[in-house]
Amino acid sequence: MSAVMGWSLAGLAVLIIAAMSGYAWRLWREVKRRDEARHEEVERANRNCLESLEAIATAMLGDQVDLVEGALCCKVLLEIIDPSLLQRDAFWVFVDIHRLTEHLHTHSARQALSAKQRFAEDRERIALQEARQGELHEAARQVLAFKREWPHG
């Protein structure tokens, strides 16, 4: 092999390595951009959930919303932020309310019930709300405390 051929191959190898390095750098920047965008999206979703939690918990404490419905909403929002939050003692009542009401009809299925059936389900919800009112109010207070301490709480 001649010296010219050797230098040509070495130059070609340097060009290929430079092109691959440039491509790898571009891919790395894209991954970093996507990670930052995903992180910002998670933070935005958490802020929205926290704002909703605050509104619902405040309404629960003011008896401006059905406590059972408020508990179900809080459960879902806490689960969106971090499912492990529902393992806290302060929030366990939300999981329990969900378990106790999951057989009840909602939305269009509720509309399909007869008036007598809807009334029976309403009585069940009201009885549950009355029996657990203190626990639900305390859980709502804990939600507000959690919101104030987020993200460290």
The pLDDT, as a whole number, for residue 153 is 63
The pLDDT, as a whole number, for residue 58 is 97
> Mean pLDDT across the stretch 16-42?
96
Task: Identify the band that residue 108 occupies on the pLDDT scale cut at 50, 70 and 90.
Answer: confident
The pLDDT, as a whole number, for residue 147 is 94
Q: How far apart are CA 56 and CA 67, in angstroms?
A: 9
- Tokens of residue 26, six digits: 């571009």
pLDDT at residue 1 above 80? no
Percentage above 70 pLDDT, the chain = 99
pLDDT at residue 132 above 70? yes
pLDDT in tens, 50-107: 999 999 999 999 999 999 999 999 999 999 999 999 999 999 999 999 999 999 888 8
pLDDT at residue 25 above 80? yes
What integer best gives the mean pLDDT of the chain? 94
The pLDDT, as a whole number, for residue 150 is 86
Half-sphere exposure of 47 (CA within 13 A, CB side): 6
Outline where 62-87 has alpha helix (H). 67-81
pLDDT at residue 151 above 90? no
- Residue 144's contacts (CB-CB under 8 Å, 6 or more residues apart) are 54, 57, 58, 61
Q: What is the value of pTM for the model shown? A: 0.78
pLDDT at residue 111 above 90? no
